[in-house]
Amino acid sequence: MMDPNREEVQQTLSLIGELDLPHPSGSLLSFFVTEALHPVLAADYVNDRLSAGEARSLVADWIYIVESVTKDGRLRPPPDAKTQQEVRRRDGNRCCISGKAGTFWDPLLVMPVLPIPYGWDADKPRIFDMLGAFFTPPYRDWWLAQVEDPERLPHCVGHWLVRKSAAQAFARGIVVLNRRLPSMIEYEVVPIVIGPEEPFEVEGPYALLGDHSRSGILPVDPHFIGTQARLARSIRYVELARSIAPQIFLSHRPASPTRSASELSKRPFLERAPSSPTRCLNSLVHFSVRAFFTCWRVLPRRTRATAYNMLRKLGDLIYGAEDPTFYVRRLPFGLYLKYRGEADMARNEFNALQRIHRETTIPAPTPLDIIPSGADSSYLLMTRVPGAPLWRCESLFSDRDCAEIVIQLQDYVAQLRGLPKKTTANPADMAAICNTLGEACRDHRIRDAAPVGPFPDEAAFSQCVRFSDEPSRRGHAVVFTHADLNPRNILVGRFRRWDGSTGWRVTGVVDWETAGYYLEYWDYTKALFEGFRWTLRYVRMVYRVFVEFGDYSRELDVERRSWESGNGV
């Protein structure tokens, strides 16, 4: 049985997820609950405010509390020279956050751990109550005493030795120190990453904020570090909101006559067209690459494979290998290599990419070479597509960005569904459900990507999945399908719109190895496969993409039951 307290928090988070508020309002309210000292107390407070119809003012109040530290906070009075020397000795002349020594460009400084909040006081009842719900009343009262008299504690407990860059990162919530209970001086250094940025670099994952001088100098008070750790995610998202949702800062003022995201999304994706010389140069480069690889493929397979292995090792030196067990590598010269793959999957992806480039405008890698060897020894060379996976960037999207990306993906899915069935086999003899070459299907959703089929019809295909007799397993069209259209395989990047603003758009769709002719609902349900990994916002985006093609709610329901009962095996 679920802990009633945990269940209450989950119910509140679900309620927040259903609110119709501009992003990142929902995330900010969720952080208020999950990062609170006692989440149940915070959840009760949120429920009361939401029941009173105060969702927007609740967001505004939380932003006010956060910016009372980050934007309006006052620096503590600087310690005298003697105290500064004590702090340096206590902290071992190393940055308390990164563990690094100072440099000429990034010196060590004695800095306040956290500014004194300006605006946290008992004269603002809503703010006072909200602080109590987040910190608990005793913790809140400790802070209000600090606000009233910043000199009440010794200077050394509110200051530490940090590099300039680390102090800036800490102030912006880019890195936090989580106390390792029950210790009062041991902390784990944790980066707070949103989007495709790199984590803050540290010497090691742990920090010891004790007295390295063994002179009895008081350590930093954990209240300061703990407060920043609880506010850090909200600090990051308030900063994000300044650029993508400024309207949530104006909830107590009359709304300005701005256009909705849906109205703005009807505008075309206008960008400055490439100049004639640029187009000519791009065409020349494209022609040269194709001509080179046409000649290159004449060489023996072993020679090409040796060259690709050398490029792979060079790529690992230049770009690194994030996951050595993942057999896809970035190479120099704008290339990517898939290796140690199944021959039939490599041939299928090569064929799918060729068709995508010939018959659609979907941005995808250009296939350059294939060496279909035996099991687990094939090579597939392709061009690199710019962008980062959607799952890493989705939190940075404005509501307008989401609306525009949905329109893009609807267009791409429509183009896929419009592709006629073409294979090397005789069309009259070809099975209805198969890969792009008319051969067996290989899908990680079914029997761990073991070959199945091809199938003459939907009834035969449904025998490979659970609940084959369900009504929702019948009566579907067969269409060209990506078959793994999840946020790992959709790449996005920033671009400049016609109105001068910066937004996000789809820059590529990758990983076509399981593509083929599947049932019309397959891309929708596969996009939500392993749904526990994806955010509610992404799930809603997927729904909006596919609702244009039909209502697949019954199909999703039976697929979810299949996954839960054994992944369709």
Give me the DSSP letters along 456-486. SSHHHHHTTSS-TTSGGGSS--EEEE-S--S
Tokens standing for 559?
A: 């697929």
pLDDT at 178 exceeding the cut of 70: yes
Residue given tokens 């397979």 in the structure block: 301
Give the whole-number percent of the chain exceeding pLDDT 90. 56
Rounded mean pLDDT of 80-105? 93
Rounded mean pLDDT of 322-331? 77
Q: What is the pLDDT of residue 294?
A: 74
SS3 of 65-122: the string is: HHHHHHCCCECCCCCCHHHHHHHHHHCCCCCCCCCCCCCCCCCEEEEECCCECCCCCC
Domain boundaries, the chain: 4-251, 276-383, 388-564
pLDDT at 292 exceeding the cut of 80: no
Rounded mean pLDDT of 97-126? 91
pLDDT at 260 exceeding the cut of 60: no
Q: How far apart are CA 516 and CA 538, in angstroms?
A: 24
- Which region, left, alpha or beta, applies to residue 532 given φ > 0 means left and ψ of -120 to 50 means alpha? alpha
Q: What is the pLDDT of residue 508?
A: 95
Rounded mean pLDDT of 110-128? 90
Residue given tokens 């990051």 in the structure block: 236
DSSP H helical segments within 381-432, as ranges? 390-393, 399-417
| CA-CA-CA-CA torsion sign (271, 277, 280, 282) | negative
Q: What is the pLDDT of residue 424?
A: 53
pLDDT at 17 exceeding the cut of 80: yes
Quickly name the fold that domain 388-564 has: Aminoglycoside 3'-phosphotransferase; Chain: A, domain 2 (3.90.1200)
Same fold, 276-383 and 388-564: no
Q: What is the pLDDT of residue 375?
A: 61
Q: For the sheet containing 175-179, what is the strand order? A: 175-179, 186-191, 206-208
Q: What is the pLDDT of residues 395-442, one digit of tens each?
A: 999 999 999 999 999 999 999 999 988 765 555 445 689 999 988 888
Q: What is the pLDDT of residue 263?
A: 41
Rounded mean pLDDT of 507-517? 94
Between strands 388-389 and 378-383, the pairing is unpaired
Do residues 298 and 291 lie in contact, with contact meaning Cβ atoms separated by under 8 Å?
A: no
For every residue of 123-149, DSSP letters joined together read TSHHHHHHHHHHH-HHHHHHHHHHHH-
Q: What is the pLDDT of residue 284?
A: 62
Do residues 362 and 412 lie in contact, with contact meaning Cβ atoms separated by under 8 Å?
A: yes
Q: Among 45-49, 343-347, 509-513, which stretch is predicted with the lowest mean pLDDT?
A: 343-347
Q: What is the pLDDT of residue 531?
A: 66
Q: Which residues contact 223 (CB under 8 A, 6 or more apart)?
A: 139, 142, 143
Arithmetic mean of pLDDT over the chain = 86
pTM of structure: 0.84
Q: How far apart are CA 399 and CA 244, in angstroms?
A: 8
Between residues 192 and 319, which one has the greater pLDDT?
Answer: 192
Q: For 276-383, which CATH superfamily applies?
A: Phosphorylase Kinase; domain 1 (3.30.200.20)
Q: What is the pLDDT of residue 406?
A: 96
Q: What is the pLDDT of residue 567?
A: 55
pLDDT at 517 exceeding the cut of 90: yes
Q: What is the pLDDT of residue 430?
A: 59
Q: What is the pLDDT of residue 423?
A: 60
pLDDT at 276 exceeding the cut of 60: no
